[in-house]
Structure 1
Amino acid sequence: MFRPGLDPSAGEESLFDALVAARAKHGDKEIIEDQDRKPLTYTGLIRAAFVLGRKIAAITEPKERVAILLPSSSGVVVTFFGLHAFGRVPVMLNFTAGEQNLRAAIKAAGVKKILSAKRFVDQAKIDDLIMVLSRDAEIVWLDDVRASIGLQDKLFGLMAGMIPSQFRVKTKPSDPGVILFTSGSFGAPKGVVLTQKNLVANSRQVMTHIPLDPNWIMFNPLPTFHCFGLTGGVVLPLLNGLKAFQYPSPLHAKQIVSLLAEVNASLLFATDTFLNQWARVASPDDFRTLQFVVAGAERVRDETHHLFNTKFGGVKLLEGYGATEAAPVVAVNHPDRNRPGSVGQLLPGMEARVEKVEGITEGGRLFLRGPNVMAGYMSPDDPDRIEPLPDGWHDTGDIVEIDEEGYIAILGRVKRFAKIGGEMVSLSAVEGLVAAVYPEARHAVVAVADSKKGEKLVLVTDRGDADVSRLAEWAREHGAPELAIPKKIVRVTDLPVLGTGKTDYVAIQSLVEMDKAA
């Protein structure tokens, strides 16, 4: 299927030029702010990007891939656009990914320099990690760079802010816009090369699908090393005239819910994991300024929908679907067309096809193509080689159903099916069964080898009294197959999650294997 409705020229400009064009369209308004409460206007952001970018350009090469290791803040936005102003390519590093994955990312991207800040390193207590990474790349402290800024630099920024087209390095929409790494939920993270066109086009697609009021304020607590946080929390609002408030950590539940009304937040993008945590500590009026909330990156639980429908006066919770490889938004529900249980309709300008998978009776494997779909994966062996997509089609690995009106339902991932006694069983569906019995807890289901039936299901849960017999009873009462009942339960205090809030299935699988070996 193809979803029409996008201007064919969407994305046909460089990212920095799109930022400058947004200033011309929306006026020199306040556009970025963080917890330091020192807002920047469009011109302030552009000037700061030129001043910082010029300093970084002096110690790097044209088109060099330069890593950024920073939390969500005005500083990370200035740094990101500062690299673009001088034709460098930002590589966003996930500081929660662990030493092994980070070192692999640095090597895969061919990174020589990492931009970070001493204040952040101290607060995040990652001194040891920085010491390890310094063996692979030079750490450039932005604190020191800023301290070296003098009158001449400021005068340069003043002039460049007035006529940016005369000072920025010209790049093409097809040039790399950012290098990100997949979350690693199910395996080793992959390096994704998104072009500048991908990022600009995705922000245009969202605006075409759901018109956003430039007077609204976006609250972004998601990390910019995650594509949802980068595109949804930075590129989308800045290119469309919405002020973006950057918050450094989604883990600060109480601080976040108290800030929402204080900064008059209109939009909130987050994952189900974080939304559920925030909803539990929020008072009924903490979300009163929000127009709606968009949840992505993982399935939204019924409990989370229930909280928003009852506790917060019916604040609309829109579930969406994305992938790093698609910059990332693929589909999202609409405030006026919100269908819980689905992730909404495909964004304008995208094509989708669904292919049947042997052994899986419902739905099929989703392939995507469109202006927001990546250039390709980086070769793990050669930083300069990008593995292109066959005819531009990206294999998502997700099993979906698309109804006659174009609403997409995610049934699971190809990797998240177990073969038990010759039958294919969706692990996501089994998690749904468990959640129906124990809705207030967090669960994950994985499969391990079984000598009799090929594989068996193991439930990992933070529910201390979870019981196989209770699950079996529910399954019988609701007509669920016996194959969908986990044969073993591993109880944990906290379910392992990634820095993005998504369930860490790699860690959970290892935990189960260790428990099995014990």
Structure 2
Amino acid sequence: MKLEQWRSAWQQLIGPGSPYEVATAPEGGLRYFRHAAANLLEAIDAGRVHGEREFLVWEQQRLTFDGFFQQVDRLAGQLSQRFAVAQGDRVAIAMRNQPAWLVAFVAIQRCGAVCVPLNSWGLRDELLHGLQDSGARVLVCDLQRLQFLKGDLIDERLPAIVVGAAGQALPSNCQPYEALAEAPLLALPPISIAPDDPALILYTSGTTSRAKGVLSSHRAICQALAALEFQGAFCALSSPERIKAVIDSGLPPTNLMAVPLFHVSGLHAQFLLALRSGRRLLLMYKWDVDKAFDLIRDERCTQFNGAPVMMQQLLNSPRFASSDSDSLYGLGLGGAAASSRLLAHITRLKPLAIGGSGYGLTESNGICAAVGGDQFAYKPDSVGWPLPIVDVCIGPDPGSPLPAGHSGLIWLRSPTLMNAYWQLPQASAEAVQDGWLDTGDIGHLDDEGFLYITDRAKDLINRAGEMISASEVESCICEMPGVVEAAAFAIADDDLGERLALVLRCEQVPAPSSEQVCAFIGQRLAAYKVPAEVHLLHTPLPRNASGKLIKAQLRELLVDA
């Protein structure tokens, strides 16, 4: 049976002598990858062996691995000598995806500093919060972010390195990036980076409150990278026919990257993995489905990983069924929950593709469970087996686990967990209890060990004591012909406590009426799960940079209306 073959492959990969050998810490019982890099700089420098192989393609720019690392070393010298960046200092990045973002990230690590990626979708207040909260010494940004922050940088006496400003007049506290990246090589002072030293502060999505800084150590990120690489190796072992099709194509591994670099799905799972493994990256400044197909066709792209809303646009395009997508062998989902219709769509249109998805949080450096290849075809609506260094507990607390098949709060324990929320001790203590992270997600493990995510704890609607899963209602209505996306959430109700509101976007003309929507749901779900009110929008629903719906914004619009 395939299940036993998969388990055998899993054990083979984590056994003694394997590159993915798993060991158990004597104190605390945490499992970890024995051969993971000791620090992020060691993990990154593995990419230097790829030499003159092409690494980055963006607009008119092309960079080899050697060319990339030359820019890194020059910028690191400038950060150290001209800007006095020392080990442990925080350096922020605020710009849209482009090669300079990647160069800046690695240069910051070369100085032993802590990188603070800021949400480039954010406006002035969110960007300024990240700078002030982290205590950044330097900002690396593009011109658009400089316009938001120009006055604040002067007030904060914060120097900036500005990308794309060559030949333009800049404020006295700003230096053009291009000149620094081409400056003579300067020596760096020797540094020694311990595994538990801080490496990264990533800000949470902030869909419900002010974004919190997630502080992670070098050890946590290196263990996360090893876990992602393990998953790739396991997918290859467990899906040999799919992998053979990729190898037989003769195409060099090439990723189309449209998700933002200021999230773990872009930073860890795409950029850092590609850098280490020698994969080519096609960077998109912003998502555009037709431009994506142009890149896939012209650059012979083999892999696309994106949020479900991106994948849906890709699959719904008539170009997906054309020769434009012939090179595409890998399709990965992340960042938000996918509907069952989208998962079935992937399997039907690309039956031999290496489909996949996963589950993780910023607080766990994106690591918890993953599924790919044959396992994805077997159980596409699961997020797979918890990775070998992850413990998962379903229940009200880690000491009260529920049996398989029972749904409850998901707790996880792993060496990839954050150190803390930056300067928020109370929030940190609430989030991580005795080494276990309260994910805030609801789910269950089945009798074969596959993890399913069914809801966010905050996305349960309590209607007169009956609990309604928002994702269940959303998944149901997305099966209705013409419905592109939907958001279900609670609105306060004097009699019921909470009532269910549903907002959806439909591409069908004419759009279905509220009565038709309710009838469709009523035929498939219990009567109390039928929404009390239905709202139709003709524009995309608001989402954050990782593709999650911003329901608070929708709720405010309805309440104001």
TM-score with structure 2 length normalisation?
Answer: 0.80
CA gap 1:313/1:389 in 2 versus in 1, 3 angstroms: closer
Aligned to 2:270: 233
Contact 2:161–2:177 (8 Å) recurs in 1:
no
Which structure 2 residues correspond to residues 133-152 of structure 1 after superposition, within 5 A? 133-134=152-153, 135-136=155-156, 137-142=158-163, 143=165, 144-149=175-180
CA gap 1:10/1:202 in 2 versus in 1, 3 angstroms: farther
Q: Does 1:483 align with 2:528?
A: yes
Q: Once the 2 structures are TM-superposed, how far is the Cα of residue 373 of structure 1 from its aligned partner?
A: 1.7
Q: Does 1:38 align with 2:62?
A: yes
The amino acid across from 2:262 in the alignment is F
Aligned to 1:248: 285
Aligned to 1:221: 258
| SS, match of residue 465 in structure 1 | coil
Aligned to 2:135: 110
Q: Once the 2 structures are TM-superposed, how far is the Cα of residue 468 of structure 1 from its aligned partner?
A: 3.8
CA gap 1:127/1:379 in 2 versus in 1, 3 angstroms: closer
The amino acid across from 1:224 in the alignment is L
Contact 1:97–1:498 (8 Å) recurs in 2:
no
CA gap 1:386/1:241 in 2 versus in 1, 3 angstroms: farther
Q: 1: CA distance between counterparts of 2:395 and 2:349? A: 41
Q: Once the 2 structures are TM-superposed, how far is the Cα of residue 133 of structure 1 from its aligned partner?
A: 4.6
The amino acid across from 1:235 in the alignment is L
Aligned to 2:329: 291
**Any idea what the Cα deviations from partners look like across 1:465-487, whole Å, max 9, x if unmatched?**
34343244334433x21111111
Q: Which one of the candidate residues 23, 48, 60 is aligned to 1:23? A: 48
Q: 2: CA distance between counterparts of 1:345 and 1:434? A: 28
Aligned to 2:551: 505
Contact 1:288–1:312 (8 Å) recurs in 2:
no
| SS, match of residue 46 in structure 2 | helix
264-273 or 298-307, which deviates more? 298-307
Q: Does 1:267 align with 2:291?
A: no
Contact 2:74–2:181 (8 Å) recurs in 1:
no
Which structure 2 residues correspond to residues 337-356 of structure 1 after superposition, within 5 A? 337-338=375-376, 339-356=379-396
Q: Which one of the candidate residues 475, 483, 499 is aligned to 1:440? A: 483
Contact 2:355–2:372 (8 Å) recurs in 1:
no
If asked which structure has higher relative contact order (CA below 8 Å, sep 6+), I would say 1
Q: CA RMSD in A?
A: 3.0
Q: 1: CA distance between counterparts of 2:518 and 2:430? A: 46
Q: Once the 2 structures are TM-superposed, how far is the Cα of residue 37 of structure 1 from its aligned partner?
A: 3.5
The amino acid across from 1:507 in the alignment is Q
Contact 2:488–2:503 (8 Å) recurs in 1:
yes
Which structure 2 residues correspond to residues 289-368 of structure 1 after superposition, within 5 A? 289-312=327-350, 315-338=353-376, 339-356=379-396, 362-368=406-412
| SS, match of residue 305 in structure 2 | strand
Q: Once the 2 structures are TM-superposed, how far is the Cα of residue 148 of structure 1 from its aligned partner?
A: 4.1
CA gap 1:147/1:229 in 2 versus in 1, 3 angstroms: closer
Q: 2: CA distance between counterparts of 1:31 and 1:501? A: 26
The amino acid across from 2:369 in the alignment is A
Aligned to 2:95: 70
Q: Once the 2 structures are TM-superposed, how far is the Cα of residue 215 of structure 1 from its aligned partner?
A: 4.6
Contact 1:379–1:386 (8 Å) recurs in 2:
no
Q: 2: CA distance between counterparts of 1:388 and 1:475? A: 35
Q: 1: CA distance between counterparts of 2:223 and 2:301? A: 25
The amino acid across from 1:394 in the alignment is L
| SS, match of residue 484 in structure 2 | coil
Q: 2: CA distance between counterparts of 1:443 and 1:187? A: 22
| SS, match of residue 498 in structure 1 | coil
Which structure 2 residues correspond to residues 365-384 of structure 1 after superposition, within 5 A? 365-380=409-424
Q: 2: CA distance between counterparts of 1:19 and 1:28? A: 16
Q: 2: CA distance between counterparts of 1:366 and 1:381? A: 22
Q: Which one of the candidate residues 40, 50, 66 is aligned to 2:73? A: 50
**Any idea what the Cα deviations from partners look like across 1:162-182, whole Å, max 9, x if unmatched?**
xxxx86633122222221111
Q: Which one of the candidate residues 77, 81, 84 is aligned to 2:106? A: 81
Q: Once the 2 structures are TM-superposed, how far is the Cα of residue 411 of structure 1 from its aligned partner?
A: 0.7
Aligned to 1:458: 501
Q: 1: CA distance between counterparts of 2:280 and 2:367? A: 20
**Any idea what the Cα deviations from partners look like across 1:30-84, whole Å, max 9, x if unmatched?**
333323332222x332222111011122314312111101222221111100011
Q: Once the 2 structures are TM-superposed, how far is the Cα of residue 328 of structure 1 from its aligned partner?
A: 0.9
Which structure 2 residues correspond to residues 171-190 of structure 1 after superposition, within 5 A? 171-190=193-212
Q: 2: CA distance between counterparts of 1:89 and 1:35? A: 29
Aligned to 1:412: 455
Aligned residues: 493
Q: Does 1:131 align with 2:150?
A: yes
**Any idea what the Cα deviations from partners look like across 1:102-151, whole Å, max 9, x if unmatched?**
22222221224321133xx2xxxx56423365345443324544454499
Identity over aligned residues, as a percent? 21
| SS, match of residue 248 in structure 1 | coil
The amino acid across from 1:408 in the alignment is L
Q: Once the 2 structures are TM-superposed, how far is the Cα of residue 353 of structure 1 from its aligned partner?
A: 0.9
CA gap 1:244/1:348 in 2 versus in 1, 3 angstroms: farther
Q: Once the 2 structures are TM-superposed, how far is the Cα of residue 512 of structure 1 from its aligned partner?
A: 2.1
Contact 2:461–2:490 (8 Å) recurs in 1:
yes
Q: 1: CA distance between counterparts of 2:466 and 2:472? A: 14
Q: Once the 2 structures are TM-superposed, how far is the Cα of residue 299 of structure 1 from its aligned partner?
A: 1.4
Contact 1:112–1:138 (8 Å) recurs in 2:
yes
Q: 2: CA distance between counterparts of 1:280 and 1:493? A: 17
